[in-house]
Amino acid sequence: MLGLVVLLCLAVGAEEQGLKAPEGWGGETIALPPGFAPGMGWQGTEKIRFAPGMMKPEADGFFSYAFAFELRADSPLTEAEVQKEFLAYYRGLCQAVLRGKLPGLDPAAFTLQLKRQEAAPGDPAVHYTGVLDWIEPFATRKPQRLNLEIQTWSGKEQKYVFVCVSPQDSKAAIWKELHGIRDDYRKQQPAGDE
């Protein structure tokens, strides 16, 4: 019985240090680089939170999620590196899920356009918006345009990349939830000079 209590306390503590999300959201934590994208250069941990309806094309939360990469301190976070790593991630994900089921699929044709955004005064993070054009491999197996909001920053012992993702327009309600997850996480993982 005591062992169960200790495990529950550890689980609660881990959630407090983790990536919190609204009730009903799913999630997982995986090592980086993930098995589906061994070509990624970044090493660390990915914490993901999926909106309800993540795999249901008719749902408002379809393919909407937030994730944090907690990276080694020596990980480069230049714009070129962010673009390279994200393309490797999404290309690998699509190939791994589809496993040759879409003849003629060329993940090399996936594109990611990043645009650096001005951060609020005093915010040490680098902000980007992005548009990823790819093939959604889980539910529709059709072309999809994903909108991304990316923030990168250096902590005291590691580097961080936080991403909000959705095919929904930036004014859609899902973005408020994604931003809430991001803002909470940023408070838990301050920049090294804060």
Cα 46 from Cα 75, distance rounded (Å): 14
Place of tokens 């944090």: 68
Residue 128 is assigned to a structural domain of this protein: yes
Position 65 scores a pLDDT of 99
Position 1 scores a pLDDT of 33
pTM of the model: 0.90
Residue 2 is assigned to a structural domain of this protein: no
Cα 19 from Cα 11, distance rounded (Å): 13
Is-contact 130 115, C-beta < 8 A? Answer: yes
Is-contact 112 87, C-beta < 8 A? Answer: yes
Cα 88 from Cα 37, distance rounded (Å): 6
Structure-block tokens of residue 144: 């999809």
Cα 192 from Cα 87, distance rounded (Å): 28
Cα 113 from Cα 111, distance rounded (Å): 7
Residue 76 is assigned to a structural domain of this protein: yes
Residue 193 is assigned to a structural domain of this protein: no
Cα 153 from Cα 160, distance rounded (Å): 5
Position 16 scores a pLDDT of 41
First to last CA, the chain: 41
Phi-psi region of 43 (alpha: psi -120 to 50; beta: other; left: phi over 0): beta
Position 192 scores a pLDDT of 77
Q: pLDDT of the chain along its 194 residues, tens only?
A: 333 233 333 333 334 458 999 999 999 999 999 999 999 999 999 999 999 999 999 999 999 999 999 999 999 999 999 999 999 999 999 999 999 999 999 999 999 999 999 999 999 999 999 999 999 999 999 999 999 999 999 999 999 999 999 999 999 999 999 999 999 999 999 887 54
Residue 81 is assigned to a structural domain of this protein: yes
Residue 65 is assigned to a structural domain of this protein: yes
What 3-state class would DSSP assign to 18? coil
Burial call 154-179: b when 16+ CB within 10 Å, e when fewer: bbeebbbbbbbbbbbeeebebbebbe
Pairing, β 159-166 against β 65-71 = antiparallel
**Residue numbers of the domain that contains 165:** 26-188
Residue 6 is assigned to a structural domain of this protein: no
Residue 88 is assigned to a structural domain of this protein: yes
Number of structural domains found in the chain: 1
